[in-house]
Structure 1
């Protein structure tokens, strides 16, 4: 979870000063904006290593439909950016789960699934508070959450979002949260992520329970579309991890998986889904 970076080696630039964005920035696979570009001159040459930092994170969890991207907080450290962005994503998950609860009721789902979705929304409120406090500790403020108005949708559309954002990305988020709970050098981060990891695991279990319930009411062609959506999302997730690496400070202090560690987590998920 957190900012990512990509290095474009040995290119010519007119200036070696850091800038908010440059014309050479590679496109992030999910369209995540660049936060800043660092330029490192290569000795005895006229070329530089250009390191472009992105605000995104691989374990975006249950992003609601219509979530508007925001600019990162300026003038803060990478840890502050990480926790402010995490708080923003946690806050955005609250209406996502409330919408899921409403849609489950509308489609006649069991009460246990409806209540689990509402309980998950309450979990995300606590997660937002925890991440916001960590962000403030590092001088950052959580951006405002802006989501386009929800519209009524059918069972298929609800389940497609659940398959990608819940069954895959939320499940990966639970793995990353558990990793952070064990690996972060910062004791406050370990404490916060220990509680969050348990909740996120329940959220992933809810996603799969919703998938199982809905699958019984769908024709084989629709079930196959959901399976294919999960496979594609997992493939996208693997590509994101392969193309972007978290800064060392996030690996050390926040326990964010390194690129190699994240790849192992994705590989393990792929084996389970297979």
Structure 2
């Protein structure tokens, strides 16, 4: 395949300049690799799932059920048995925040059930699930762009993005399996026909905001993860995710030629609303230590810096 065929979407210069500037500043941002384990573990996003019965020998169960974990706005990541300060056995439930990789399709149902005890396995399995869910999202985008007579360059880019996500799913599944975790099934109802404005609103929210932020996070992980396999995997994924974000912004630019002034304003407001919602997630973002060190996930202070870079593109 020629380079001309591959480079179907013009580079978004401001997006790339913003991302590269953030990554170059990575060692200088607060909460970097000098963060100690004790400091990073403080305030990890967990809740109690209630008391647990010990095994007959007095030990803690290795793979407890997560069914008693309380419902939260953030999806459940994993649960494990711990001992409280009084010596009682308790279920500790950890939740995802800033979980924005990929393009979530309409109607996607969040998986819930007994998660693996390995924190990294849970994270990689969830990432693989998000990548898998992005495949039908991009195929739907390609079909809808074609139906609305969008430039063929956008249709081809959307189909190529679906192929990228198939590859991303496989490599993230491999990382999850290395940590004893299995990717959940993607539970997605059949798509219904929708208007051009509805399609563009999803692109504004899932593409221009959340997928662009996901590209920033993947780029960060590809630079800071201590595990060399994770670093190389996320570095490759980040390159693709930047192109996916550029596709979202290219679709958004094309939309301005098809919408009325009032519709364009609605689209802009949808981006701002999505940005505000994401900012609230960033403020709740307090990843456990293994996610910061082993997977390179940004700390809350680092996520704030990435978010501010995104805000400069979206406002």
Q: TM-score range by the shorter chain?
A: 0.7 to 0.9
Matched with 1:197 is 238
- Residues 181 and 197 in structure 1, CA contact (< 8 A), matched pair in contact too: yes
| 2:132 aligns with one of 70, 91, 116 | 91
Contact 1:179/1:257 (<8 A) preserved: yes
Tell me if structure 1 keeps the 8 A contact 2:285–2:299: no
| Superposed displacement of residue 244, structure 1 | 2.8
Find the residue that maps to 1:124 and give its secondary structure: helix
Matched, 1:27 2:72: yes
The alpha-carbon deviation at position 38 of structure 1 amounts to: 6.8
Q: Counterpart of 2:258 in 1: which secondary structure?
A: coil
1:199-241 alpha-carbon deviations (Å, 9 max, x no partner): 0000000000001101211111111111111111111111111
Q: Is the 8 A contact 2:108 2:189 kept in 1?
A: yes
Instruction: Find the partner of 1:125 among 156, 166, 173.
Output: 166
Aligned CA distance change for structure 1 residues 52 and 235 (closer, same or farther; 3 Å):
farther
Change (3 A) 1:263 1:40: farther
The superposition leaves residues 22-64 of structure 1 with CA deviations (integer Å, 9 ceiling, x where unpaired) of 58x4732x5x246437767468xx9xx9964114543243100
Select the structure of larger CA radius of gyration.
2
Deviation at 1:259, TM superposition (A): 1.1
CA contact (8 A) 1:20 1:34 kept: no
Q: 2:279 aligned with 1:238, yes or no?
A: yes
Q: Secondary structure at the match of 1:53?
A: strand
- Decide which of 38, 45, 63 is 1:6's aligned counterpart: 45
SS in 1 for 2:45: strand
The corresponding residue for 2:33 is: none
**Secondary structure in structure 2 of the residue aligned to 1:146:** coil
For 2:190, what is the secondary structure of its paired residue? coil
CA RMSD of aligned residues (A): 2.8
CA distance in 2, matches of 1:121, 1:56: 25
Partner of 1:156: 197
1:58 aligns with 2:58: no
CA distance in 2 between counterparts of 1:237 and 1:5 reads 19
TM-score, normalised by the number of residues in structure 1:
0.86
Aligned to 2:309: 268
- Paired residues for 1:196-215 under 5 Å: 196-215=237-256
Aligned length, in residue pairs: 263
SS of the residue corresponding to residue 100 of structure 1 reads helix
Structure 2 counterpart of 1:217:
258
Contact conserved, 2:80 with 2:117, CA < 8 A, in 1? no
Counting only pairs closer than 5 Å after superposition, residues 30-41 of structure 1 correspond to structure 2 as 32-33=75-76, 35-36=78-79, 41=84
Q: Which runs of 5+ in 1 are unaligned?
A: none
Answer whether contact 1:94 1:121 (CA < 8 A) is retained.
Answer: yes
Q: Distance in 1 between matches of 2:83 and 2:281?
A: 24
Distance 1:92 1:39 in 2: 33
Contact map agreement 1:241 1:262 (CA 8 A) in 2:
yes
